[in-house]
Amino acid sequence: MLKVHFTREDLLRTRLAPGPDPLWEVILSVNLLGNRDGQAVFDAWRVRTRSKLRHLPPEQIRLIRCLAPPCGDFPDFLTPPQAAHGLAAGVEAVLSTPVPRIRQELAVLPRLPMWTRPLIDGEPAALRMLGQSLHAYYTCAVATRWQHIQALIDADRGVRARAVLHGGVEAMLESFRPTLRWSRPVLEADYPVDRDLHLKGRGLLLIPSVFCWRTPVTLIDPDLTPILVYPVARGPQWWTGDHAGLRGGQALRRLLGESRAMALRAVEDGCTTGELARRIGLASPTASQHATALREAGLIASTRRGNTVIHTLTPLGVGVLAANRE
């Protein structure tokens, strides 16, 4: 059981990551590649990814799998906060990790093979190999469906944002049930070991993840910025980009057309034009055209905040969706 202990200050400083974190997706997907968890959800992805990985140098795959084993701990330095700004920034931060920290954190891995000694010692060639391996694995396993990952996380963020609007941060924490269970002042979750994480006024960064399976993940070192990575909802067809979940309502499709009906459903939790495009799998200009048509029909409202336009359902749009569920 994991217990995250909040103070009043922590509630004020709790926030949601703005999008997927590429290094968390990389490391957690490596975990999944080495085990059989979530077969119905991840096996199609596993088959495709293993086929692509055969074209990489074997030493790169060996290194990645060694650092992110199928179960158990992995070093905190592999998932730095800088990855929120993109893969390149994250990998640069990994390679800039002080050697004493690398040595200390690699100790969480049992029975490190002798060939990892150059990495343990922070040798430049070994660090370059690590950076190349992270980039290569990301390209094979994650990059080709990054937009689908963003779309799933956008949808999850929409759910959490509505919870905040309706009831504040505590309502958002309550919205994570059953994965996370809020009972003031403690957030509980199933976890491989018993652990208490005291935030001590630092707040908590919640990071949604497609490759996180069933239980959340947090950093080993309690002195690092507190984060909690949690799984988002995704079905067996997530990896193929199948948007069937947005296609419900035959009458609605006949009325609006399939793409526009999907767009209306995608706006249900609120989204930007870019998020709308990712959710329905279309180019941003096309998504913008659909949003304009829906707005002119009175089904959605659009509000500009700086350079961003946020779309939400109008009461009419809510009613149209409610009357066309399947």
pLDDT of residue 168: 93
Is there a domain that residue 212 lies in?
yes
Is 297:311 a contact under the CB 8 Å cutoff? no
For residue 183, what are its two tokens? 């009972």
Q: Are residues 217 and 279 in the same domain?
A: no
Task: Give the CA distances from residue 221 to residues 75, 209, 320, in Å, rounded to whole numbers and listed in that order.
Answer: 10, 20, 49
Q: How many domains does the chain contain in total?
A: 2
Q: Are residues 212 and 301 in the same domain?
A: no
Q: Are residues 93 and 221 in the same domain?
A: yes
Predicted structure pTM score: 0.80
Q: Are residues 253 and 215 in the same domain?
A: no
pLDDT of residue 236: 66
Q: Are residues 234 and 249 in the same domain?
A: no
Is there a domain that residue 98 lies in?
yes
Q: Are residues 150 and 54 in the same domain?
A: yes
Closest to 314 (Cα-Cα) out of 296, 323, 297, 301: 301
Q: Which helix (H) or strand (E) holds 313?
A: strand 308-313
DSSP per residue over 177-219, as a string? TTTEEEETTEEEE--SS-EEEE-TTS--EEEEESS--SS-B--
Is there a domain that residue 189 lies in?
no
Is there a domain that residue 191 lies in?
no
| Binned average pLDDT, 10 residues per bin, the chain of 326 residues | 96 94 98 92 92 95 96 96 97 97 94 94 96 97 88 83 88 94 96 94 97 95 96 75 53 78 86 88 91 89 79 83 71
- Where residue 299 sits, what CATH number does that domain have? 1.10.10.10
Task: Give the CA distances from residue 10 to residues 64, 182, 202, in Å, rounded to whole numbers and listed in that order.
Answer: 35, 14, 6
pLDDT of residue 244: 46
Contacts of 292 (CB under 8 A, 6+ apart): none
32-73 per-position pLDDT tens digit: 999 999 998 899 899 999 999 999 999 999 999 999 999 999
pLDDT of residue 225: 95
Task: Give the CA distances from residue 226 to residues 13, 26, 109, 301, in Å, rounded to whole numbers and listed in that order.
Answer: 11, 20, 21, 36
Give the whole-angstrom CA distance, residue 84 versus residue 17: 8
Domain that holds residue 264: 243-322
Is there a domain that residue 248 lies in?
yes
Is there a domain that residue 226 lies in?
yes
